Amino acid sequence: MRLKNKVAIITGGSRGIGRGVAEAFAGKVQRSPSWAGIRAACDETVAFIIKNGGSAIAIVADVSKEADVAWIAAETLVKLNRIDLLVNSAAVNLPYREVADVSLDDWNRLIGVNLTGIFLCCKAVLPQMKLQHYGKIINFSSIGGLSGAPGRAPYRASKAAIINFSECLAAEV
């Protein structure tokens, strides 16, 4: 995929895989709105991108909240006029914990970020991508989504669901 003059939204861009993707795109995309829940880390990523010839803006938001995601998509369109690429890498995990010891709040938070966040982000950018007749979406899952393991049920369930969701989305669009 050619990245020149493209606008990429990268979730979880302040650390881990998201930051790695944002840094790899430095100087290759027109602009890269990167969002995460940590302002300082997001600003560090943007500074790296700019230092390396790229252009980026940092936006702090929660991908599990529909209003935040809608705002990010709208802000990107206002500031950059298009959305060519969505990279969904925002994710959370829990410490090793057996199912009987996982609280509903922990379960909901993990599923909210890891799975619902991807759904909301895709839903928010698809209308613009369809209007442009162009767009690419990358949803990060994990090898953990292919098999179970003790103490990892919430995380691995979310990653398995991402694989299936992505296959369904690909069949639709």
Which residue is catalytic, options 18, 155, 156, 161? 155
β-sheet with 56-60: strand ranges across: 56-60, 32-36, 8-11, 85-88, 136-139
CA atoms 137, 138, 139, 143: torsion sign: positive
Cα–Cα dist 77/123, whole Å = 15
Is residue 155 part of the annotated active site? The answer reads: yes
The Cα angle at residue 22 between residues 16 and 25, in degrees rounded to 5: 140
Which residue from 135, 139, 145, 144 is spatially nearest to 119, judged by alpha carbons?
139
Which residues does residue 138 pair with via DSSP β-bridges, in sequence order?
87
Cα–Cα dist 99/102, whole Å = 5
Both tokens assigned to 45: 């990523």
Tokens 């938070």 belong to residue: 109
The three-class DSSP label of residue 59 is strand
Catalytic residues: 155
